[in-house]
A and B are shown apart, each in its own frame.
Chain A
Amino acid sequence: MSFRKADPKLAASVRTRLISLGLLILGWSAFAAALADPQTLPSPLEIGRLTFNELTGGPLLFHLSVTLGRVLAAFILAMAIGTVFGLLMGRKKPFDTWLDPWLLFFLNLPALVTIVLCYLWIGLTEVAAITAVAINKIPMVTVLIREGARTFDPSLDDMSRIFRVTRLTRFRHIVVPQLAPFFAASARTGIALIWKIVLVVEFLGRSNGVGFQIHLYFQLFDVAMVLTYALSFIVVMLTIEFTILQPWERRASRWRRA
């Protein structure tokens, strides 16, 4: 596949997306102007001004970094545990038969229940917060990695057995490349789910982070500040999505387009 050929299409797609986003902001501005009640719906301009103020003179950066730290910790934990379970279940039938009912149970466990139980059992601590988020995400990673492991090419297994390829080489050069597209896909969907749950976890039981700030301004009925914090974090997560996760996913499946 030639990327040069795809470029005009890509440019057109980006242009359409930017126009679409512009229309959303325009619609918001028009609605805010028509409502003329900044306490209910402040204009995008007002949110921009507040964000700048919070960023330069307020604690926005601190809360963003605290939340991002929790997202990362829960993400790494969930990816590591989910990958191990996914591989085991995808490659070994008895594990799959034994663990599948557990997987179904945890997949259907509402995030709120996990969070409340973790806070009740472990206490209002950082460990409880990160554990609760990870528990919510592990089943989804497991499902995706299991699907990936099921699609492994059995002839490559045969080939590596015949040529007595070492375990390490087998893992690095045969297992990981086959798993990479699934790993990248679960990382992308994972981070999208995790950051939303982290906000709930902070809302319910932490004393810092974007979720905590949203809770604080919710109690003060300050819609503008709720939007300021929420949108700032959305921007951070979208930046991570477009600059790290999407390019990584493209690279992980690059050989498929050779």
Chain B
Amino acid sequence: MIEIDIHSKSFGDQHVLGSVSLTIPAGECVAVLGPSGIGKTTLLRIAAGLDTEFDGHVTRPERLAMVFQEPTLLPWRTAADNLKLIVGLTDDDADAALKRVGLDGKGGHLPDQLSLGQRRRLALARAFAAQPDFLVMDEPFASLDKALAAEMIALTRDLLKGARIATLLVTHSESEAEALSDRTLHLHGRPAVLTDAQAAD
């Protein structure tokens, strides 16, 4: 169970987030929608523990994983090494994880030798290989063309199926939110607050 209870978050004299409360039970995927610059990434960084300077409290499990806006891989290490070094997989587990995301036989490639879609797949493989209780996704399909985004969404849905992972997805695309989440919330206003989709409309 993830409990996010933010009273406020400011950068200097800029009040970015107001009161934001959110509970995500295991196995549920919550999408947070909102326009660019509204504070979605700030909310997500607080939820993930990357930003600790805020007024409020977050309860999260030990094991978490994140899919960043960019794949955020080690460019000097092969695809397999990116899984082995960061998540601690064995050779066999790394091969299996690569196969799961359709990167069979690409283990020896450096990230720069992979296409953007393949790098995104590798980032997904890494997140799921960490066997997280809490998965945080920060616009994971941004900058992908429509077909590739659809393919990645299907893959993510497959990976999420059956796993009891609490997922927080931040996106500005309603279709992505609809395709992946059980619940969609809207972040709006200044300072931004969270309401469910109906109330925002």
Chain A residues with CB under 8 Å of chain B are 155-156, 158-163, 165, 169, 173-174, 177, 255-256, 258
Contacts and interface: CB of A to CB of B under 8 A. Distances in A.
B137 to A, nearest CB: 12
Nearest to A255: B76
B68 A159 contact: yes
A21 B69 CA distance: 52
Given A255-B75, A258-B112, 6 more contacts: A156-B74, A163-B65, A169-B85, A173-B77, A255-B112, A258-B75
A125 B116 CA distance: 59
A177 B50 contact: no
Contact of A159 (B45, B72, B75, B77): B72
Interface string B48-75: 1110000000000000111010101011
Contacts of B87: 163
Contacts of B65: 162-163
Contacts of B113: 258
15 contacts: A155-B68, A159-B68, A159-B86, A162-B49, A162-B64, A162-B65, A162-B136, A163-B66, A163-B126, A165-B85, A169-B86, A174-B74, A177-B74, A255-B110, A258-B75
A241 to B, nearest CB: 24
Interface of B: 45, 48-50, 64-66, 68, 70, 72, 74-77, 85-87, 110, 112-113, 126, 130, 136
Contacts of B110: 255, 258
Point out which of A161, A163, A255 has the most chain B C-beta atoms below 10 A from its C-beta: A163
Contacts of A156: 72, 74
B158 to A, nearest CB: 22
A136 to B, nearest CB: 32
B48 A162 contact: yes
A177 B76 contact: yes
Contacts of B136: 162
A158 B66 CA distance: 10
A155 B66 CA distance: 11
A66 B152 CA distance: 63
Contacts of B48: 162
Nearest to B111: A258
A165 B126 CA distance: 13
B109 to A, nearest CB: 9
A162 B134 CA distance: 11
Contacts of A158: 45, 50, 66, 68, 72
